[in-house]
Amino acid sequence: MTSTKHPTGRIRRINTSLLLSYLVISFVIVIILYPIMWTIGASFNPGNSLISTSMIPSKATLEHYQALFQNEGSLQYLKWFKNSIFVSVSTMILSTLSVTFTAYAFSRFRFTGRKNGLMMFMLLQMIPQFSALIAIFVLGQMLGLINNHLFLVFIYVGGQIPMNTYLMKGYFDTIPLSLDESAKIDGASPTRILLNILIPLAKPMLSVVAINGFTGPLGDFALSSVVLRNVESYTLPLGLYQLVTNPMTASYTKFAAGSILISVPVVIIFLLFQDNFVSGLTAGGTKG
């Protein structure tokens, strides 16, 4: 007679591994969702203090959301919201365009200084953002561009080019050169090859670059606080910070309401690019 071995121990090990995985995932989800749910609850709580706030308010109110759009006193939420959208959308468009053409040049052409250029991009990624704050402020003063949103946009675009160029170049490198050669035989120019062949195939990575270009400026405080010194030119992070700087007039519940509203454009952008964004992240992690 032959004895049969039951894989009971193996099944138990698999179940234990799955259980631990689910526990870790659940713990991470709780860590992520708790501050979000708490902020949402605080935005509907009456009053201005955080002491009496709760995640599920007993008397929910919309007064904080209404106050944001009434522009009372120094509170200019609509103006700040408009400034943030302008800076974020402009950065997204310019960054995506510049990164696309730069990555195309590094991926498809061999020219003098190509390797040095790629090495320079790598070195620029190692320099922390804060190290350039003083230089940016001095440059803005010399050129008279303090409180200028376009100046801030160009700073954001320049900061995003190195990393995003590496991502886009890595994706372009995975597209077969035979497609370019076939198009050249048909008389297509390099620009036409980029626009009609590579860009349609690179939509996932373009979505990643576009979302990075939009969300980065929308939540930035350090650079915008250096360039924007006038209340009317503030973006949302600077404007919301003014709500809690004065201990006597601080409104943390109103700050929570403003924080929830600032996430709406981000959610919309993610929904628009959701499918391509996930594909682009996967491709960037496996192909780059």
Residue 2: inside a domain: no
The model's pTM is: 0.83
Between residues 46 and 33, the one the model is more confident about: 33
Query: Domain check: are 102 and 213 in the same one?
Result: yes
Query: Count of domains in the chain?
Result: 2
Q: What range defines the domain where residue 225 resides?
A: 73-286
For the chain, give the mean pLDDT: 85
Reported as a single tens digit per residue, the pLDDT across 50-93 is 666 667 777 888 888 888 888 766 678 899 999 999 999 999 99
pLDDT of 191 over the 70 cut = yes
Taking the C-alpha atoms of residue 221 and residue 235, their distance in angstroms, rounded to an integer, is 9
Return the percentage of the chain with pLDDT > 70, whole number. Answer: 87
CATH number at residue 256: 1.10.3720.10
Taking the C-alpha atoms of residue 131 and residue 133, their distance in angstroms, rounded to an integer, is 6
Average pLDDT, stretch 226-242? 91
3-state DSSP assignment of residue 48:
coil
Residue 177: inside a domain: yes
pLDDT of 19 over the 90 cut = no
Query: Domain check: are 243 and 148 in the same one?
Result: yes
Instruction: Give the C-alpha distances (Å, rounded to integers) separating 17 from 8, 9, 28, 31, 275.
Output: 14, 12, 17, 21, 30
Taking the C-alpha atoms of residue 254 and residue 42, their distance in angstroms, rounded to an integer, is 9
pLDDT band at 4 (very low <50, low <70, confident <90, very high): low
Query: Domain check: are 50 and 146 in the same one?
Result: no
Contact predicate 169/114, CB 8 Å: no
Query: Domain check: are 13 and 143 in the same one?
Result: no
Between residues 74 and 43, the one the model is more confident about: 43
Contact predicate 252/274, CB 8 Å: no
Average pLDDT, stretch 187-211? 90
Query: Domain check: are 271 and 233 in the same one?
Result: yes
pLDDT band at 144 (very low <50, low <70, confident <90, very high): very high
Reported as a single tens digit per residue, the pLDDT across 82-121 is 999 999 999 999 999 999 999 999 998 888 888 888 888 8
Residue 121: inside a domain: yes
pLDDT of 172 over the 70 cut = yes
pLDDT of 45 over the 80 cut = yes
pLDDT of 287 over the 50 cut = no
Query: Domain check: are 257 and 201 in the same one?
Result: yes
Average pLDDT, stretch 250-268? 87
**Residues 198-203: contacts with CB under 8 Å, at least 24 apart:** 198/104, 198/172, 199/100, 201/175, 202/100, 202/168, 202/171, 202/172, 202/175, 203/276, 203/280
Taking the C-alpha atoms of residue 280 and residue 209, their distance in angstroms, rounded to an integer, is 9
Taking the C-alpha atoms of residue 258 and residue 174, their distance in angstroms, rounded to an integer, is 42
Report the candidate in 216, 267, 212, 193 with the shortest Cα–Cα distance to residue 96.
Answer: 212
Contact predicate 103/169, CB 8 Å: yes
